[in-house]
Structure 1
Amino acid sequence: MRFAAALTAGAVVAAVTLLPGIALAAEAHELPGETMSLWWTLPFAGLLLSIATGPLLFHHVWEHHYGKITFFWAALAVVPLAVAFGMPSATEAVLHALLTEYMSFIILLFALFTISGGILVAGNIHGTPLVNAGLLLIGAMLASVIGTTGASMILIRPVLRANDNRPFNAHVVIFFIFLVSNIGGSLTPLGDPPLFVGFLRGVDFFWTTANLYQETLFVGGLVLAVFLALDIILHRREAGAPKIKDPTPDTKIRVQGLPNVPLLAGVIGAILLSATWKPGVAFSVPGVSLELQNLVRDAVILALAFLSLGVSPKSHRQANNFHWEPIAEVAKLFAGIFICIVPVIAILRAGPDGALAPLVSLVSSPMGEPNDLAYFWMTGALSSFLDNAPTYLVFFELAGGDPQHLMTTFASTLAAISAGAVFMGANTYIGNAPNFMVYAIARHRGVKMPGFFGYMAWSGAVLIPIFLIAGFLFFG
C-alpha cells in the first residue's frame, strides 16, 4: 500500500512539474484540494507511467498510438472535473493551463528544436581523449544556450563520427548524455525544460546562472574528469588491439547554417524582453488573462523558428536527420500532462491538509522548514524515472510556489530543486527527452549501447557518488 502511494505521489510530482499552468488554474478556480483524494491523481500517474514504460515495453504500440493513449488519460482527468465541479470551471481550468503555460512552453521547445536543426557540424576529427573531452565541454556549455535537446542533436553525430573507428566508444555516448543532454543545461531557462517552467512561474532569467554555477561547475567538472581518466585508460588499451578502418576519415571541420545563430540570439532576446517589459496590457479569453508581453514573446519566437526554415538549406537538415516526429510527440504528451496535472496541483496546494501530506512531510523539518537535501534527492530521484519538468513543478509547489520568496528567503531550496531536476535527469534513459534520442541515434550508427539497466549501472557508478558529495557540500 505504501509502495502504491509512493508511486502515485511520484507520478503526481511529475505531472505537476510539467503543468505549471494547471497549478494556476487550480488556484484560480479554487478546487477544494483538501477534500480531494489520491484517486484524482490517477490520470496523471497513468500518463506518466505510460510515457516511462511505453517506449521500452510496448514500443510499436506506443509509437503508433501514443496520441490516443495521451487523449485517454486527459479525458479521464477532464470529465470527472466537469462532473464534480461543473463544466465552466473545468473548461476554464484547462484553458488556463493550455493558453498561459503550455503554449509558451511548447513554442520555445519547437523553436530551439527547429533552429538548432538547421546548424550542421560537418567534417570529422579523431576521437582522442582530449578531443572527446573538448567536445563534451563545448556541448555542455552550448546546452545552457540552445537547450539540452539542441546541443545534443547538433553534436552527437560529430562525436559518433570522431569515435567510429574505436572498439570502445559506448562510454563516450554515455558521458555525452550525462554532460550535454543534462548537466550542462542547468544555467539558464533555455537549458532544460524544468528551468523554463520555473521562468514561466516567475523565476528571474539569470537566477539559475547566479545560484547554480558552483554546483554545475563542481558536478560537471568531476564528471568530465572521470570521463577523461576512463577514456585515457581505454584509449591506451586500444593501442594493442587490431586496428579498425575508419569509416569516416578525418576531414576539416565546418560549421554550416550560421544564419541560425542570430536567430537563437533572437530567442534569448525575446525571453529577456518579456521578463523586463511590463506594459500592463492584457487580453481576456473566456476566464483567462493573457498578458501582452508574453504574447509578443511567443509570436517573436515562433516567427524566428519559421524564419530558420527559410534560411537553412534542406541539405543541412537532411544531414542532421531532422524530422518533425520528436517535437510532435513532445507537443502531444505535454498537452496531456498539462491537463492531467490540474487536480494534482490542487491537492499539493492544500499542503499538510491534502492527500499528499506524507510527501510534504518528507521534505520538511519538524519545525516546518524546508529540508534542502531532501528536496535535492526527492526531486532528483523522481526526475530519474519521470520527466524532470513536471517533477520540478511538483516540488516548486511543495516549497510554497511563490517565486519571489523562493528566489530570496528560500534560495537554497529552489537551487536544490533545480539541481536535482536537471542533474539527475541523467540517471536513466527516460529522465530527460534528449537521453533516449541520443541512445537511439547511437544504436542506429552501430554503437553497442548498454540496455536500460546497463545504463543505470553506469550512472550509479559515476553519477550517484558525485551527487552524494554535491548534496552534502551544497545542500546538507
Structure 2
Amino acid sequence: MRRAQRAMAVWPPAMLAVFALFPSLAHAAGLDGATLSPIWGLPFAGILLSIALFPLVAPAFWHHHYGKIAAVWGALFLVPFAMQFGVHAAVANTVHALLGEYLPFIVLLTALYVVAGGICVRGNLHGTPKLNTCILALGTVLASLMGTTGAAMLLIRPLLRANDNRRHVAHVVVFFIFLVANAGGSLTPLGDPPLFLGFLKGVEFSWTLRNIFPETLFICVVLLAVFYVVDRHYFLNREEELPVAQDPTPDSRGLRIEGKINFVLLLAVVGLVLMSGLWKPGIAFDVMGTEVALPALLRDALLVVVTIASLVATPRAARSGNEFNWEPILEVGKLFAGIFLTIIPVIAMLKAGTDGAFAAVIRAVSDPSGQPIDSMYFWATGILSSFLDNAPTYLVFFNTAGGDAATLMTRDASTLAAISAGAVFMGANTYIGNAPNLMVKAIAESRGVRMPSFFGYMAWSCVVLLPIFLVMTFLFFHV
C-alpha cells in the first residue's frame, strides 16, 4: 500500500482522475461479511428472478426495460446499504465492484465480441448432425485458446446459418453453450475468467491443462456424443427441414472469410491478457481502497484500442454479413452491471467463512479434521458459480482451501482441480452462469431461434449435465 501511495504522489491530480476511469482486478474495499444478514442478498435474488420470470410473463416489457429493472434492483441494495453503513462505504464498495471487477469483465467481453463479430464466414454448409458436431468440437478446442467468449462469438453465427433451414435449432444452441461457452474453456487461463484469476494468484499457466485434462476430455466427449444422438433424432424427422424455397441462406460449395485482420486482433487480445498476468512491476494506484495495478490498467486501455481498431479496420460487408448489432453486448452489460452490484454482500458473506451467513456451505467442504473434501468443493463451487459470478466464487473457495498457489498446485492439487472444474463446467447450468451464455442466447433469438426460457434452459442442464457431473464426482473427485 505504501508503494502504491508513493506512486500516486508523483502523478498530478489530472492523471489520477484518468486512472480512476480504468479498472483492475484488485482487492475489495473492506466489508465485513460476518456482520451482514442474509436479507442483504434479496436484491441479488430479485435480479435473478427478474431475468428468469420477466421474459416469460412480460416479454415485451422486459425487452424494452431490462436495463431499468436491473438499475432498480441495484438501487434497492445501494440506498439501504448507504443508510446502514454510510455513504463512503457504499461508494467505496461500488467503486470496487465497477472498477475492480465489472469494467475489466465488460472491456474484455466487448473486445472479444467486436473482434470475433468482425470475422464473417461467407458461404453456407448444410447443418447435418455430423457437421454440427464438428463445429461444436472445433469451438470446444478453440475456447481454451481464445476464450469462451471469443470462440462462441466466432462460431455461433456460422452455426446458426448452417441450420436456418431446420425447424428445431434450439437444442443445437443449448449444446453450443454447454461446450463452447463453458466446458471447452477449462484448459488454460485464457479460457475462462476463474482460471485467469487463479493465474494471477500464482497458478502456473499450464497447470489446468496438466491436471484437469481427463475431466475436460470426459465431459466434452460425452456431451458431443449425446448431442450427436439428439441432433440425429431431430434430423431424421421427415418434417425437420424447411422447403428449399424457404431456406434463408441456401447451401454453397465453397467458404470464404472476410475481416481476416480480426484474427491478428484476436492474437493481440490474447497477448494482452497474458501480459497482465506475467508482467508484475509492483506498481498500483489506490482508488478508494481498490488497487488498480499498472498491468491491468494497461491491458484494459489497450483492449479499448483493439476494439476501436476492429471497428475501423473491419470491412462493413463483414459485419453486415454477420448481422452484427450491439444488442447482445448491451443486454449483457446492463444485466451484469446490476448483478455485480447486488452480488457485493453475497460475496462478502461467503468470504466471511464460518463467521458469515453461509457458514454451512463453508463447513460442508471440509471433514471434521479440517481436511478438504474434493467432491464437496466441486459441487459447492459449481452450484454457486451457476448463479453467482464464477470468478469471485472461484476465489472464495481458492482462499477457503488455503489460498497458497504453491500448496494447492502440489499437495492439494486434487482440491484445486475440483474448484477449477466446478467453476468452469457448472457455469453452463444457467444462462447467467457465464457471460457468453446470455450473449449466445441473445444472438440466437435475434436470428429467430426460439430459445428456452430461463427455467426451460435449466431443465436441459438438469437432464443432460447433472448426470454427467454425478458420474464425474465418483470418477475424478474424492467422495
Q: TM-score, normalised by structure 1?
A: 0.83
Shift of 1:300: 1.7
Q: Which of 341, 366, 369 lines up with 2:368 in the alignment?
A: 366
Q: Does 1:279 align with 2:278?
A: no
Secondary structure, counterpart of 2:254 in structure 1: strand
Residue correspondences, number: 453
Q: Does 1:119 align with 2:119?
A: yes
Aligned CA RMSD, in angstroms, stands at 3.2
Equivalents in 2 of 1:266, 1:259: separation in Å? 11
Q: Does 1:289 align with 2:291?
A: yes
Q: Deviations along 1:237-276, whole A, 9 cap, x unmatched?
A: 3579998427212231112211111111111111211222
Equivalents in 2 of 1:447, 1:68: separation in Å? 26
Q: Note if contact 1:122-1:255 (Cα within 8 Å) is conserved in structure 2.
A: yes
Q: Which of 21, 25, 28 lines up with 2:28 in the alignment?
A: 25
Secondary structure, counterpart of 1:467 in structure 2: helix
Amino acid at match of 2:279: W
- After TM superposition, the structure 1 stretch with the greater mean CA deviation from structure 2, 320-329 or 199-208, is 199-208
Amino acid at match of 2:355: D
Secondary structure, counterpart of 1:252 in structure 2: coil
Matches within 5 A, 1:148-227: 148-166=148-166, 169-199=169-199, 203-227=203-227
| CA shift in 2, pair 1:207/1:55, >3 Å | farther
Q: Does 1:95 align with 2:95?
A: yes
Equivalents in 2 of 1:450, 1:289: separation in Å? 41
Equivalents in 2 of 1:240, 1:346: separation in Å? 53
Equivalents in 2 of 1:458, 1:195: separation in Å? 26
Q: Note if contact 1:205-1:272 (Cα within 8 Å) is conserved in structure 2.
A: no
Equivalents in 2 of 1:454, 1:471: separation in Å? 25
Shift of 1:370: 2.5
**What residue in structure 1 maps to residue 471 of structure 2?**
469
Amino acid at match of 2:130: L
Shift of 1:203: 4.7
Equivalents in 2 of 1:383, 1:32: separation in Å? 22
Shift of 1:445: 4.7
Secondary structure, counterpart of 1:127 in structure 2: coil
Shift of 1:137: 0.9
**What residue in structure 2 maps to residue 11 of structure 1?**
none
Equivalents in 2 of 1:375, 1:33: separation in Å? 21
Amino acid at match of 2:350: L
Identity of aligned residues (%): 58
Secondary structure, counterpart of 1:251 in structure 2: coil
- After TM superposition, the structure 1 stretch with the greater mean CA deviation from structure 2, 415-424 or 304-313, is 415-424
- After TM superposition, the structure 1 stretch with the greater mean CA deviation from structure 2, 347-356 or 429-438, is 429-438
Q: Deviations along 1:304-350, whole A, 9 cap, x unmatched?
A: 11111111012211221222222223233333333333333332232
**What residue in structure 1 maps to residue 307 of structure 2?**
305
Equivalents in 1 of 2:227, 2:103: separation in Å? 38
Q: Note if contact 2:27-2:291 (Cα within 8 Å) is conserved in structure 1.
A: no
**What residue in structure 1 maps to residue 5 of structure 2?**
none
Q: Note if contact 1:33-1:348 (Cα within 8 Å) is conserved in structure 2.
A: yes
Shift of 1:139: 1.3
Amino acid at match of 2:280: K
Q: Give the structure, 1 or 2, with the largest relative contact order (CA under 8 Å, sep 6 or more).
A: 1
Shift of 1:111: 0.8
**What residue in structure 2 maps to residue 15 of structure 1?**
none
Q: Note if contact 1:114-1:308 (Cα within 8 Å) is conserved in structure 2.
A: yes
Secondary structure, counterpart of 1:364 in structure 2: coil
Q: Note if contact 1:70-1:333 (Cα within 8 Å) is conserved in structure 2.
A: yes
Q: TM-score, normalised by structure 2?
A: 0.83
**What residue in structure 2 maps to residue 258 of structure 1?**
260
Shift of 1:138: 0.9
Secondary structure, counterpart of 1:92 in structure 2: helix
Shift of 1:288: 3.5
- After TM superposition, the structure 1 stretch with the greater mean CA deviation from structure 2, 302-311 or 433-442, is 433-442
Secondary structure, counterpart of 1:25 in structure 2: coil
Q: Does 1:144 align with 2:144?
A: yes
| CA shift in 2, pair 1:400/1:335, >3 Å | farther
**What residue in structure 1 maps to residue 244 of structure 2?**
245
- After TM superposition, the structure 1 stretch with the greater mean CA deviation from structure 2, 56-65 or 201-210, is 201-210
- After TM superposition, the structure 1 stretch with the greater mean CA deviation from structure 2, 294-303 or 65-74, is 65-74
**What residue in structure 2 maps to residue 42 of structure 1?**
42
Equivalents in 2 of 1:213, 1:318: separation in Å? 38
**What residue in structure 1 maps to residue 51 of structure 2?**
51
Q: Note if contact 1:381-1:424 (Cα within 8 Å) is conserved in structure 2.
A: yes
| CA shift in 2, pair 1:172/1:285, >3 Å | closer
